Chains A and B, each alone.
Chain A
Amino acid sequence: MEESKRDKLKIGIYELTGCAGDALLILDCEKELIDIFKAADIQSFLMAKSDNTDGELDFAFVEGSVSTEKEEKEILNIRKRAKAVVAIGICACFGGIQATFLDKKDWEDNLKKVYGDVKMKHTKPVQSKPIDAYIKVDYYLPGCPIGKEQFLSTFNRILRGNPPELYRFPVCVECKWNENDCLLNKDILCLGPVTRAGCGSICINYNLPCVGCWGPVEEANLASEFQLLREKGFDFDFIKKKMSNFSGTGMADFLAKLKGEKK
């Protein structure tokens, strides 16, 4: 193993604030895990190993949102050391559920309601933001959590020097591949049309509506997708509220685009 170590890509997997679901999903690649560790030089993966190092990297996979001053420093340090940064999961991509309070004052009030007047000594909290609020991100792997197939295909592609190939269409496309009945036709609010594909339309396969956990789809005609839902008779504010449950800042950007405003 040692002889080929220097030819291997150096990879680090990092967790900022979140549920650790994306790192766990990588651990959940049971059959492939030993091969992953053989194929690349995994320099840092806190959840999986204790001999972690902080050196130069080819790829850094980062999960979670930036939520403390310590994490602000950490993300800058990761960027400095890595040739390419991949945001994994909705928290790193869009801030996730903890980026609900987008207004600074609103966030401060809520923080105070939870922690009272206790001043944190170890690290100061900051408003939760996706990692691209601090650094340039090369690739985004959305999802809550990321999908196994999507991660393994991305991992394989980068090992061979290719960029990841991500789905740029809504959940509806995958849903049609799976030949599900459209829930919107049953008057059930399903966020499939406005949500990025990659999950394999899993909720609809289980007769349940899409909850929007992969964040807003990046598509030219997103306004018309939104319009479709409105035509079905769903309230704009209600859709907005439902979409905001997971997307954090992603939803704010999405709405800004809808209004034709510049970011």
Chain B
Amino acid sequence: MKKISIDHLARVEGNGGISAVIDGKVVTEVRFSIYEGPRLIERLTLGKSPEEDINIVPRICAICSLSHKYSALRAMENALAVKVPSKVALFRELMHLGEMIESHSLHLYYLALPDYVGFPNAIAMASKYELEVKIAIEMKEFGNHIMKTASGRYIHGENPVIGGFGKFPSKEELIWIKSRAIQFMPFVLKTVNLFCELEYPDCPEDDTIYASCNPDRKKYGFAGDEIILSTGETIKKEDYKDLTNEFVVSHSYAKRSHYKGEPYSVGALARINNLGERLKDEAGKMYKKYFNPRWKKNPLLNNAAQALEILYSFERIPEIVDKMLKLPDPPLVKYKAKEGKGVGIVEAPRGLLIHSYELSDGLVSQTDIVTPTAQNAEDIERYCYIAAQNLLDKGEENKIRDSMELIVRAYDPCISCSAHMAEVKKAPEEDWKTKLNDIKNKSTPIFVGVGKHDRSDDGAGIELALKLRKHGVSDVWLESEIVEREAPLKNGLHRPIIFLDAVDFRDKPGKVTVLPLHHVFSNSGLSHRLLPFISDQFSYMQLRNSFVLGIQPESIKKGQKISGSVRKALTQVLEQIMK
């Protein structure tokens, strides 16, 4: 077995890793792990006052701290029936644009670009691209300046509070921000050209679902009261659980999400896919110039999408400043409510962020926070898998590690969200035995024999199932029985299901491999008859808990007997299961 492993994913915010295990010609495992310890944030907000909650929750993540604050404020104000005056709403939007500019420019220039121009970090990059690095630093500093003006300091400022702000900026300050934003435009346009014209590898391409906030009045933006999907569906913010469906995996302290059984992606690329048509002015022109079908399926284009959003933000700032200048500074909106429920959604730089609270007797009694990286984790794993298998197929195994890092980094994961990184491992000899034991140790598996008995080695799965039955193993089914009666699988919802089958891994005959069923689904090289009848019946959790024990056939010609190598493998598998 070979394992490509990046334990400390550098140049991302937080502590996590990605690993891939290669068994012969097949990638059998990809894991995006978050080593960052559990912080139990939702639990520790219970019993706090709404104000204390607003102080604490931005500490989930320094990079998105103002998005957390914004989302929590929107949720809390919903729960407390507080309506804020338009100047407050405008100043919050300005603050949020500051974070977008700061976070996107940090990610694009410091974290992502060094990969594409071949430097270990932005500081080293400065030796060749001194001017670019210096102006990028200034652009990031400008974003920081807005955040500091709005919140009080660079990170975790407390100025935004329930009902408004402790203090508003002076007219001089606002005018300075506007003129500085206009000054930056030539460099901002260069940034868009640079990141939209980078050569992005095509190895991870595949369709996905994109989810983002749907801003009011058909505008582009980073907040709203509704979620919009690339499928055209919309979901009310209160019904966010219809989208997120959170679950826990054993290799990460960040929860995972799936929508109707499919992983989905959030972030700048999701927003541009869902809302890009709404962009106007220079951002609109650039969108028309650069957007193409690859943006729908290549996660690396998130870098290009972020660059477009920097442009959008710079164009939006003068509009906000002009509106703010006409309005007086409003006092804090007071509230009396002690009970209530509220959901607040905003777009953090790396995607949809949801805060949901319930208050009883003036204190927080229920908290649910869904972060963007938690939502992206499944798709990060899936795209890394696709890239790893594609590269392995092309014989470019040496590129797997770098490619996985590129993908993870493109998602701009904010690992502190709960969540360093890539690892490629070769599977040890007979790794299938370990994998089989792991599954058995969790819970008694259900076995399903798949194949055609009259097509030599293709009958291996059926043969194996029949032998297991003979040895008195319960819950063994044949493919034909499952098609006729769905019940056997539906009854064992919480139990792992192992499909026994001959699978062409392009390896030596008789080679046994155990891999997750969803890898078989997303690997076009292994596409399989299993697909039609399984995908309809299975829930996402069931799919995640299903495996294929595949045996490399020698021949699947009609009428021949099972070959010697496969027969030997069958005996070994049988022994292992019976142990």
Contact partner of A206 among B39, B42, B48, B167, CB < 8 A?
A: B167
Contact A113 B56 (CB under 8 A): no
Contact B157 A50 (CB under 8 A): no
Contact A125 B253 (CB under 8 A): yes
Contact A17 B157 (CB under 8 A): no
Residues of chain B within 8 A (CB-CB) of A97 are: 39, 41, 44, 56, 59
For chain B residues 94-134, which have a beta carbon within 8 Å of chain A?
A: 106, 110, 114, 120-124, 126
Question: What is the size category of the interface that chain B forms with chain A?
Answer: 35 or more
Distance in angstroms from B409 CB to nearest chain A CB is 10
- Assuming the A-B contacts A111-B40, A113-B43, A122-B35, are A47 and B12 also in contact, with contact meaning beta carbons closer than 8 angstroms in the complex? yes
Question: What does DSSP make chain A's interface, helix, strand, loop or mixed?
Answer: mixed
Contact B44 A101 (CB under 8 A): yes
Contact B48 A245 (CB under 8 A): yes
Contact partner of B10 among A49, A66, A119, CB < 8 A?
A: A49
Contact partner of B52 among A46, A110, A206, A245, CB < 8 A?
A: A245
Is the CB of B15 closer than 8 A to any CB of chain A?
yes
Distance in angstroms from A185 CB to nearest chain B CB is 17
- Assuming the A-B contacts A48-B110, A119-B250, are A206 and B152 also in contact, with contact meaning beta carbons closer than 8 angstroms in the complex? yes
Question: What does DSSP make chain B's interface, helix, strand, loop or mixed?
Answer: loop
Given A101-B43, A126-B37, A211-B52; 13 other pairs, CB 8 A cutoff:
A17-B37, A20-B61, A30-B141, A50-B114, A52-B10, A68-B37, A100-B40, A100-B44, A115-B253, A122-B251, A145-B155, A203-B152, A205-B152
Contact B65 A21 (CB under 8 A): yes
Is the CB of A220 closer than 8 A to any CB of chain B?
no
For chain B residues 428-467, which have a beta carbon within 8 Å of chain A?
A: none
Is the CB of A86 closer than 8 A to any CB of chain B?
no
Residues of chain A within 8 A (CB-CB) of B62 are: 19-22, 24-25, 145
Contact partner of A208 among B15, B158, B251, CB < 8 A?
A: B158
Is the CB of B93 closer than 8 A to any CB of chain A?
no
For chain A residues 92-135, which have a beta carbon within 8 Å of chain B?
A: 96-98, 100-101, 107, 110-111, 113-116, 118-123, 125-126, 128
Q: Scan A43-72; emit 1 where CB is below 8 A from any B CB, else 0.
A: 000111111100000000000011110110
With the chains together, A110 CA to B367 CA distance in Å? 13
- Assuming the A-B contacts A67-B38, A242-B52, are A118 and B250 also in contact, with contact meaning beta carbons closer than 8 angstroms in the complex? yes
Distance in angstroms from B184 CB to nearest chain A CB is 14
The 26 listed contacts between A and B (C-beta, < 8 Å) are A20-B416, A24-B62, A30-B140, A31-B141, A46-B11, A47-B12, A48-B11, A49-B124, A50-B11, A50-B120, A67-B37, A71-B37, A97-B39, A98-B37, A98-B38, A98-B41, A111-B38, A114-B40, A114-B43, A125-B37, A125-B38, A128-B37, A202-B157, A206-B165, A208-B159, A211-B158
With the chains together, A220 CA to B114 CA distance in Å? 50
With the chains together, A125 CA to B34 CA distance in Å? 12
* Best-surrounded residue of B12, B37, B144, B248 (most CB of chain A within 10 A): B37
Contact B252 A122 (CB under 8 A): yes
User: Which residues of A pack against B, CB within 8 Å?
Assistant: 15-22, 24-25, 27-28, 30-31, 33-34, 37, 46-52, 65-68, 70-71, 96-98, 100-101, 107, 110-111, 113-116, 118-123, 125-126, 128, 144-145, 148, 199, 202-203, 205-208, 211, 213, 242, 245-246
- Assuming the A-B contacts A20-B14, A24-B63, are A98 and B39 also in contact, with contact meaning beta carbons closer than 8 angstroms in the complex? yes
* Best-surrounded residue of B15, B144, B154 (most CB of chain A within 10 A): B15
Contact B420 A46 (CB under 8 A): yes
Residues of chain A within 8 A (CB-CB) of B137 are: 30-31, 33
Distance in angstroms from A77 CB to nearest chain B CB is 13
- Count A-B contacts at CB 8 Å: 188
For chain B residues 45-89, which have a beta carbon within 8 Å of chain A?
A: 48, 52, 55-56, 59-63, 65
Residues of chain A within 8 A (CB-CB) of B114 are: 50
Distance in angstroms from B434 CB to nearest chain A CB is 13
Contact B155 A28 (CB under 8 A): yes
Contact B120 A206 (CB under 8 A): no
Contact partner of B35 among A22, A70, A118, CB < 8 A?
A: A70
With the chains together, A250 CA to B420 CA distance in Å? 29
Distance in angstroms from A127 CB to nearest chain B CB is 10
- Closest chain A residue, CB of each to CB of B122: A48
Contact B15 A17 (CB under 8 A): yes
Contact partner of B40 among A18, A25, A46, A101, CB < 8 A?
A: A101
With the chains together, A208 CA to B250 CA distance in Å? 42
- Assuming the A-B contacts A49-B123, A115-B248, A207-B167, are A144 and B43 also in contact, with contact meaning beta carbons closer than 8 angstroms in the complex? no
Contact A202 B37 (CB under 8 A): no
For chain B residues 174-224, which have a beta carbon within 8 Å of chain A?
A: none
Give 4 closest A-B pairs by Cβ, nearest first: A67-B37, A21-B62, A49-B121, A50-B10
Is the CB of B36 closer than 8 A to any CB of chain A?
yes
- Closest chain B residue, CB of each to CB of A207: B166
Contact A21 B40 (CB under 8 A): no
Distance in angstroms from A200 CB to nearest chain B CB is 8
Contact A51 B120 (CB under 8 A): yes
With the chains together, A52 CA to B122 CA distance in Å? 14
With the chains together, A202 CA to B157 CA distance in Å? 8
- Closest chain A residue, CB of each to CB of B130: A34
- Assuming the A-B contacts A46-B11, A208-B166, are A17 and B65 also in contact, with contact meaning beta carbons closer than 8 angstroms in the complex? no
Is the CB of B543 closer than 8 A to any CB of chain A?
no
Residues of chain B within 8 A (CB-CB) of A144 are: 59, 156
* Best-surrounded residue of A21, A115, A205 (most CB of chain B within 10 A): A21
Residues of chain B within 8 A (CB-CB) of A206 are: 152, 158-159, 165-167
Distance in angstroms from B381 CB to nearest chain A CB is 14
- Closest chain B residue, CB of each to CB of A47: B13
Contact B65 A19 (CB under 8 A): yes
- Assuming the A-B contacts A27-B110, A67-B38, A114-B42, are A48 and B121 also in contact, with contact meaning beta carbons closer than 8 angstroms in the complex? yes
Distance in angstroms from B260 CB to nearest chain A CB is 23
With the chains together, A57 CA to B376 CA distance in Å? 36
- Closest chain B residue, CB of each to CB of A120: B250
With the chains together, A173 CA to B400 CA distance in Å? 56
Residues of chain A within 8 A (CB-CB) of B14 are: 15, 20
Contact A17 B36 (CB under 8 A): yes
Contact partner of B15 among A15, A22, A205, CB < 8 A?
A: A15
Residues of chain B within 8 A (CB-CB) of A118 are: 248-250
Residues of chain A within 8 A (CB-CB) of B420 are: 46
